[in-house]
Amino acid sequence: MVTLGIDIGSTTSKCVMLRGGTDIVATSLVPGGIGTNSPDRAMAEVLAKSGLSAGDISYTVVTGYGRSNYKGADMQVSELSCHAFGGRFVFPKLRTIIDIGGQDVKVVSLSEAGKMTNFIMNDKCAAGTGRFLDVMAGILQIKLGDIETLAAMADKPSSISSTCTVFAESEVISQLAHGSTVPNVVAGICESVASRTASMVKRIGVTEQVCMSGGVAQNGGVRRALEKTLGVPIAYSPLSQLFGALGAAIYAYNKLQHEK
């Protein structure tokens, strides 16, 4: 039995196709989220990769910020539940998920049994989200993918005192004008995201195993700064950005099992 999970985020759309609730058949990740044709493109891509057709899919669950506008699924499920399912699939002892997306940050606590017991979310303020990193990368004229390497080259990370993206932007411009090196500023930016995220994580409690998900999870610079700030190792998998879609596909599978 093949199930499909679609995760429509603010900046990307993702699909995971699952066979028998355990085998990942194919995945896709397409830039562009809610309000674009990316969900359809992500769907087309996952079908092409799998060699299957839409008719082969027994059940489709959609999740993510853009789920309520999507018509092609059998069911909508909240992204928090899907993240919990997807996270546990990859890390069976997972207790804390730190999900930093393009426009929001969510921290989810799981019980030993894997049930969501608490969560905290910021979707009102760009500080500490992927958007903050985008703005900073724009000022520095660097690619997001270069942040990890640049941060590792820092000898004296800048300290960025403003939390606000807008004020931090001015601070970074002034630091560069006063001679701070790009690696030091980049390291300061990573620490700024880490300290903002850490204060959210601490409000909900840090129970190991901890992992990061969402687009920013790929950013080793932020991940390492967050490990240092929280004082715990943070697990990461190349599947981390797909937790929502993966969880949705698992949800779809479980749903069919219950209906049998």
Q: What are φ and ψ of residue 115, in 5° steps?
A: -80, 145
Identify the three-state secondary structure at position 25. Answer: strand
Residue 219 binds which entry of a second copy, ligand SF4, none, CB below 5-8 Å type-dependent: none
**For ligand SF4, which is the closer residue by CB, 73 or 127?**
127
| Structural element, H or E, at residue 135 | helix 130-140
* Residue 75 binds ligand SF4 (CB under 6 A): no
* Residue 172 binds ligand SF4 (CB under 6 A): no
Taking the C-alpha atoms of residue 114 and residue 211, their distance in angstroms, rounded to an integer, is: 14
* Residue 164 binds ligand SF4 (CB under 6 A): yes
**For ligand SF4, which is the closer residue by CB, 86 or 130?**
130
Taking the C-alpha atoms of residue 172 and residue 215, their distance in angstroms, rounded to an integer, is: 23
* Residue 153 binds ligand SF4 (CB under 6 A): no
**For a second copy, which is the closer residue by CB, 58 or 163?**
163
* Residue 125 binds ligand SF4 (CB under 6 A): yes
**Contacting range for ligand SF4; rule: CB under 6 A; set: 89-97, 123-131, 172-180, 194-202:** 123-131
Contacts with a second copy, residue ranges (CB under 8 A):
103, 124-126, 131-132, 135, 162-167
Taking the C-alpha atoms of residue 217 and residue 194, their distance in angstroms, rounded to an integer, is: 11
Judge contact between 122 and 208, C-beta under 8 A. Answer: no
**For ligand SF4, which is the closer residue by CB, 161 or 257?**
161
E-strand stretches of the chain: 2-8, 12-19, 23-31, 57-63, 75-76, 96-100, 105-110, 116-122, 210-213, 234-235
Taking the C-alpha atoms of residue 131 and residue 100, their distance in angstroms, rounded to an integer, is: 10
Taking the C-alpha atoms of residue 24 and residue 96, their distance in angstroms, rounded to an integer, is: 23
**For a second copy, which is the closer residue by CB, 124 or 260?**
124
CB of 126 to ligand SF4, least distance (A): 4
Which residue among 37, 166, 174, 228 contacts ligand SF4 (CB under 6 A)? Answer: 166
* Residue 127 binds ligand SF4 (CB under 6 A): yes
Beta strands 234-235 and 210-213 are parallel
CB of 137 to a second copy, least distance (A): 14
Chain positions contacting ligand SF4, by CB under 6 A? 125-127, 164-166
